[in-house]
Structure 1
């Protein structure tokens, strides 16, 4: 298998996003992805085992680089409340900028098979850990209530962000996700504050 770097690899990942967003995961044949990436069908198999591997890889690449950006930006912010604000802002900004990626990650990934869900679960854990760290720091510094259950609080935060983006997609992007940041942050802080 070829190294997962380089122009062809990137072209296949980007093509997969466009094709899956347009046709849906189940109708996104490898041949369509290859045609969109302007490579031969066989070239895809130099980089990926199968279509599931393409989907897992695109999520891993896109989400992985996003998480790295979030981690770097949050290091610059001291207050857990401000970190949470920045996390919400970056989450919405990332998906609002790329409607096709938002459609693939919010809708198509959910319709995939257990193998794909298992593959994306690993990278998702890293993101959930970032949320956990904000909550834990907020509790330690007394900004958030000491009786918060970190696991439940994380589910509420991630679930709210996730549902907000899904609803935005289902409403054909009729409004700005970034316009929702202040209200969602206020809601979280009022529920978590001490």
Structure 2
């Protein structure tokens, strides 16, 4: 499978850097190839076009978020602790890779509707795990049983997402991970029974 090949990963990592530094629209395939240290034609062995590269970047990285979240959901912990770990994981992954944060928070938003729809499809897996945490919290009495799961999901994800976007827009000037406790407290207090 292509995804297991080292050059695929090289191209994905190079694309994150090139797109973050130049913007999606100014990121030619040739720039990505140069950053990856491969010939332009090699890119087309793995990807159909630049849009396919961007979607693949998002798929790869959201899979990583979802895999981490799947492990958190499996833990023998309260919904509150799981929510805390989810927020912390999200902030930690993005604060450890500023290029990735720029791509996910800024560049993906500027893409066309078809691309955004593909991105939303990838995001679904992540949100399913968030729903599991919320449902578990309602069932065990930690969260208000009158909350609307869809609305709660939007509130949680939206807050995490906007907090990250603000951090990127402020050029990473403060420690994003340090906001975990404050964001968790705000969200959990808004959801609890």
The CA deviation at 1:3 is: 2.3
Aligned residues: 193
Runs of 4+ in 1 over 6 A off after TM superposition: none
Is the CA contact (8 Å cut-off) linking 1:95 and 1:101 kept in structure 2? Answer: yes
TM-score (norm. length: structure 1): 0.96
2:80 corresponds to = 81
The CA deviation at 1:66 is: 2.1
Is the CA contact (8 Å cut-off) linking 1:74 and 1:86 kept in structure 2? Answer: no
TM-score (norm. length: structure 2): 0.97
d(CA) in 1 for partners of 2:143, 2:72: 21
Q: Deviations over 1:41-60 (max 9, x none)?
A: 11111100000000000110
The CA deviation at 1:77 is: 3.5
Return 14-23 or 65-74, whichever deviates more.
Answer: 65-74
2:150 corresponds to = 151
1:21 corresponds to = 20
Is the CA contact (8 Å cut-off) linking 2:73 and 2:133 kept in structure 1? Answer: no
The CA deviation at 1:190 is: 1.3
- Structure 1: gaps of 5 or more residues: none
2:116 corresponds to = 117
SS in 2 for 1:143: coil
Alignment of 1:72 with 2:71, yes or no, is yes
Alignment of 1:170 with 2:175, yes or no, is no
